[in-house]
Structure 1
């Protein structure tokens, strides 16, 4: 997988490390073109995360836990990607304790005309 991040963002490296610890091979690319990458993948503004991952034809926005990404890759729904919007405290790569469930949304493709809840962690 390829993780695109803003060069000044440190939490993205923490998320990449979480993914590596869960069996993913992660290449991190620091870029100032992150908004363009999100636009190319039709990421809705309200679902944007601090970094964008490309993996096996899908787009992952933000600090989505590795087990949810593994589920996505196993199920292969007809969507563009999934997102954990924002930078929730306690999510993989972010500091602090988890204070509420993480709601992960789908976007794009026939199975997600409007953002739909994909998982609650």
Structure 2
């Protein structure tokens, strides 16, 4: 009797932990400069959209971009990894969630440079920008356009 009760308690705890982990959202590892304020704002954007974020300050985020297979011309101020994909720059959480749902064959997503109005770069104006899907050969296509 005690074994059966204990077994049910362990199962209930495991199910509860699994549901809690799912509710917290995917874990995204962010490599950023310690002195970049917009990187911190982007991390807060991700957390606000349900991602669990592990942010690591590094001396050169460009090294992580290169390791992730993101060509330099699509670079920005931080690089992240989630679900086997690289995320470069101020990519909206909505597009990261879409990427993880659709699972295309790709290196990841990038928002080159640091466009005003993108997540983490909020301000008095909003510039149009593209979220690029980056293929293994370095070719890109527009994954989503923002006006």
Q: Unmatched 5+ residue regions in structure 1?
A: none
Tell me if 1:84 matches 2:111: yes
- Pick one of 85, 108, 114 that aligns with 2:139: 114
Listed as ranges, the matches of 1:47-58 within 5 Å are 47-58=74-85
Partner of 2:87: 60
- d(CA) in 2 for partners of 1:81, 1:65: 13
Greater relative contact order: 1 or 2 (C-alpha under 8 angstroms, separation 6 or more)? 1
Q: 1:116 to 1:100 in 2, by over 3 A?
A: same
How many correspondences in the alignment?
Answer: 119
- Asked if structure 2 preserves the Cα contact closer than 8 Å seen for 1:91 and 1:98, the reply is no
Name the structure where helix makes up a greater proportion of residues: 2
Scaled by the length of structure 1, the TM-score of the pair is: 0.91
- Asked if structure 1 preserves the Cα contact closer than 8 Å seen for 2:92 and 2:119, the reply is yes
Partner of 2:121: 94
Partner of 2:37: 10
Q: 1:78 to 1:11 in 2, by over 3 A?
A: same
Structure 1 runs (4+) deviating above 6 angstroms are none
- Of structures 1 and 2, the larger Rg is shown by 2
